[in-house]
Structure 1
């Protein structure tokens, strides 16, 4: 477990009210501007009330999907933690879903969500190495499924290449996948090499008098200890109880299918009959693009990429309501709930064991 002063500095850096409100304001501003211009230039009038014309079955299905979406998001992390033999209740994990959605969508490159979950898992008694491993494994499972699907989608849907940045898409894709697999390999199988590189880097800083000898030893001890724990927990997951490993993969897959089903149901409600496989392919490409977005919550990039890819499937007048309700159901609701959960756990001091 990390020390109390480390906890406090962590809160100050990542969870203070001023920076959170600033990032949230940037997210809202970019999202609003993006929606405004997409509605103005790519849609034909503001027809958001079209959702009320959806059939009762579609509306009920969307409401049930929202509920299941958050449940499945919690279950995928819950069973990763179960595989690592972490003792934590499902309710606590369910709260983390909204914390993750909120923090991820107000920080650049979605960097804050993972840190937030690690922090709160520690508050619930889960060790730093184990909580870090669980959050990274959860992310790696979904990212691996998505990224390994992209080459297949691009190769089997040649028409989609016209919507992507020229002939360089395969180069970008190849470089990213190679780096992704390399990092994954190093973390699991060559953690000693990472330790060696970290040691040389901080030793260089010490020799340049940028770090004191005492600080150098403290950092190296901390990094070595938690990298070792982290690596052990990753290996432990792979070799863990098979039923929990299976359920981790299963709920990750079902979660992703649920996330991509929002667009399918909305498009069906708009009166189109488009195969789920085609919508799934487009959604995977959208999420792939969002992974590289530097803006908070991929704001602007998500809306633009989604509109670009789906513009060829539906009429111009239906593009904006599709875009709005996709973002509203899959992100905005979770962010709104996450604000209240965040304020409850941080501002109101509602985290157990903090007294």
Structure 2
């Protein structure tokens, strides 16, 4: 139990330090003048987009579970979603989020094997949507990576799409297993077994994706609506402080930022998210406001769901069980 409290204290302290530093180093003499004209209606719009995003995150999980032959209620799906936010913020690389999802799905009556595959499918769908959007983002916003030429960005975009399709084909044919056998020969037995366990989960996810194309298309569309709604919080905040907003431009950069966050080594992407936001959006908002908007975005999109996830996790499993899962 003490370890859980220490982890919570560390995360809250980290969030406080990062948020304070971001605001401190980005404010200037114009900050309060711009904030004084903040439009209150934008807060209602922010909560609307957040609610839509979380709702479709829950419904896509319900439909995924149904494809696997099981059933869960919308409330159980919502608990999975918020539990993911909570444990992801407590663990480096958001690794705890996957554990939380499996635990809640098991609690809802989904067998462990299916729950693991469903979590992998849910993650793959989100990453797949973001990666498929990247060629469009690079084409319309080459300034997102100004140090790379447009021709090279086109090559990268094509390589991403080809790699996705090739990987899916190789997984379906089980061809990658032969390469894994060769590459893991010198690994310790435990590590080798873990590699093949991950491979089986991912392959099972790919097979599930191809098992019901029309149902999976529906889930993919729900994934897109969920992610784009959550990202729409940012341009709405920009409008709230009077900025001129190119909605698609902002969403494109949010897609790019969130791809990076999938590989962030810090708990919940803390620090990297705020820093990346300041770099990507400093030119979009009035002087001295980008740091405050970055912190508000993180509060709305991550920390509010984190607190709700904490409530559901303690309510469903109890503090003792939760503490036993925190390594």
Q: CA deviation at 1:157?
A: 1.7
The alignment status of 1:276 with 2:261, answered yes or no, reads no
Is the 1:133–1:234 Cα contact (8 Å) retained in structure 2? no
Distance 1:179 1:239, change over 3 A: closer
Distance 1:241 1:83, change over 3 A: farther
Q: CA deviation at 1:247?
A: 2.3
Structure 2 residue corresponding to 1:194, chosen from 158, 177, 200: 177
Q: Measure the CA separation in 2 of the matches of 1:237 and 1:159.
A: 34
The alignment status of 1:77 with 2:61, answered yes or no, reads yes
Structure 2 residue corresponding to 1:114, chosen from 98, 101, 118: 98
For the pair shown, the structure with the greater C-alpha radius of gyration is: 1
Is the 2:49–2:233 Cα contact (8 Å) retained in structure 1? yes
2:273 matched residue in structure 1: 302
TM-score under structure 1 length normalisation: 0.76
Q: Measure the CA separation in 1 of the matches of 2:298 and 2:136.
A: 26
Q: Per the alignment, in what secondary structure is the counterpart of residue 232 of structure 2?
A: helix
The alignment status of 1:250 with 2:221, answered yes or no, reads yes
Aligned residues: 318
Structure 2 residue corresponding to 1:240, chosen from 204, 207, 212: 212
Q: CA deviation at 1:126?
A: 1.2
Distance 1:68 1:158, change over 3 A: closer
Structure 1 residue corresponding to 2:15, chosen from 31, 44, 48: 31
Q: Measure the CA separation in 2 of the matches of 1:33 and 1:339.
A: 21
Distance 1:200 1:305, change over 3 A: closer
Is the 1:107–1:296 Cα contact (8 Å) retained in structure 2? yes
Q: Per the alignment, in what secondary structure is the counterpart of residue 90 of structure 2?
A: coil
State which drifts further: 181-190 or 32-41. 181-190
Q: Measure the CA separation in 1 of the matches of 2:11 and 2:158.
A: 30
Q: Measure the CA separation in 2 of the matches of 1:204 and 1:320.
A: 45
Q: CA deviation at 1:230?
A: 7.1
2:237 matched residue in structure 1: 266
1:345 matched residue in structure 2: 316
Structure 2 residue runs of 5 or longer lacking an equivalent are: 323-327
Is the 1:101–1:334 Cα contact (8 Å) retained in structure 2? yes
Q: Measure the CA separation in 2 of the matches of 1:181 and 1:22.
A: 43
The alignment status of 1:97 with 2:86, answered yes or no, reads no
Q: Per the alignment, in what secondary structure is the counterpart of residue 242 of structure 2?
A: coil
2:325 matched residue in structure 1: none
Q: CA deviation at 1:313?
A: 1.1
Q: Measure the CA separation in 1 of the matches of 2:127 and 2:36.
A: 31
Structure 1 residue runs of 5 or longer lacking an equivalent are: 1-16
TM-score under structure 2 length normalisation: 0.82
Is the 2:53–2:225 Cα contact (8 Å) retained in structure 1? no
Distance 1:26 1:152, change over 3 A: farther
Q: Measure the CA separation in 2 of the matches of 1:30 and 1:189.
A: 45
Distance 1:42 1:306, change over 3 A: same
Q: Measure the CA separation in 2 of the matches of 1:48 and 1:288.
A: 34
1:6 matched residue in structure 2: none
The alignment status of 1:293 with 2:278, answered yes or no, reads no
Is the 1:83–1:237 Cα contact (8 Å) retained in structure 2? no
1:54 matched residue in structure 2: 39
Q: CA deviation at 1:253?
A: 0.9
